[in-house]
Amino acid sequence: MERRNFFKVAGTGSAGLLMSGSLAAQPIINPDNKKIKSISGSWFEFQHLLPSEGRYWDPALASFTAEQWKEKVKEIGELGFEYLVLQEIALDGKAIYPSKLAPKYELGCEDPLEAVLSAADECGIKFFVSNDFWYDCQKGDFLMKDPGIRKFRAKAMEEVTEKYGHHPCFYGWYFPNESYLMPYFDEAFIEYMNDCARTAKMLMPASVNLIAPYNIKAEKSDDKFVKQLERMNIEIIAYQDGVGVNSTKLGEPARYFENLYKAHQKASRARIWADMELFYFEDGTKGNLLPADFDTRILKQMEDISPFVDKILVYQYIGCMNKPGSKAYAGHENQESVRLYKQYKNWLDNSYKE
């Protein structure tokens, strides 16, 4: 279920560009390998898209200085995360960064995008940079289909490339208006995604681009779905496991990821990653997001999906994990986010010893 609206269920480029997402470029996954993969990265945000879910960390993020943003990125890098997926470069039409195209979304830091990219350069993290939200983030269909937004988004991508494309960490783009499986991708989404990819490849030919669809429990990984994958000019598809939003039950995603993995193999297209949810709802099915327990839930999520994905990304470090003593703390005062950090680091240290 789409995380920015939990309760709303809901032309390809040139041949040369299409090859960028081919299976030939991806590592071979061995589904018989039972080793649990560590977490390779996380989504990253400046403010949570739904304020009702991020009340425990939004105030802290809003007041972060440039040094605190840098500290947060370095803190994440210290835990071994290789990738960060930026959720937004704008919120409700206001730019997170200094822009000539739109008014500024006021935060404590003048240019948080520059701060986090500079820090990522220093610690070797790769960033997938968002290309939205230039209107109400909950109106995904409008953002995907409106011709005016489409033209504006392309201009914004050009501006972001001019301002930040020199950063070595700028690995690629994230197209955040997500589709869902029902059981196939909506054709309008494929058109939107390929349009974003054309712009991304024009601006940054070597960019590696990512999407993160939801509702995997509806997957039907048949020939029709395989043909859709073949037409999608995307390098990485990180499917949301749905455990945090109660769309799937613990233990179920393994079956869905296995089917999706087989479809990707047939299509010889995009790499398959996971977008694994670290949180649970404070009020059962709604409200603020809180970090789940690693030992009783998250480790099982990792175990289930590890055989079928190249990388595990999580939603998300911000708000759900904090290094003990962090100078850039963002999360509930009860320190559950510190507990999760310590639980995961203890597992990592004992499972991946040199």
Tens digit of pLDDT for each residue in 242-267?
A: 999 999 999 999 999 999 999 999 99
Tens digit of pLDDT for each residue in 161-220?
A: 999 999 999 999 999 999 999 999 999 999 999 999 999 999 999 999 999 999 999 999
Distance between first and last Cα of the chain? 38
pTM: 0.92
Residue 11 CB neighbour total at 10 angstroms: 9
Closest CA to 187 of 218, 149, 147, 141: 141
Per domain, the residue ranges of the chain are 38-351
Architecture of the domain defined by 38-351: Alpha-Beta Barrel (3.20)
What local confidence, expressed as pLDDT, does residue 2 receive?
Answer: 53
What local confidence, expressed as pLDDT, does residue 353 receive?
Answer: 63
What local confidence, expressed as pLDDT, does residue 25 receive?
Answer: 41
What local confidence, expressed as pLDDT, does residue 284 receive?
Answer: 87
> Would strands 90-91 and 83-86 be described as parallel, antiparallel, or unpaired?
unpaired
**Cis omega before residue 26 (within 30°)?**
no
DSSP code of residue 298? I
What local confidence, expressed as pLDDT, does residue 14 receive?
Answer: 34
- Are 152 and 104 a contacting pair, CB within 8 Å? no
For 150, the token pair is 């489409």
- Are 269 and 22 a contacting pair, CB within 8 Å? yes
Phi-psi region of 164 (alpha: psi -120 to 50; beta: other; left: phi over 0): alpha
What local confidence, expressed as pLDDT, does residue 352 receive?
Answer: 75
Residue segments in the chain with a per-residue pLDDT below the cut of 70: 1-34, 353-354
Q: How many helices (H) and strands (E) does the chain have?
A: 11, 12
Closest CA to 273 of 307, 243, 238: 238
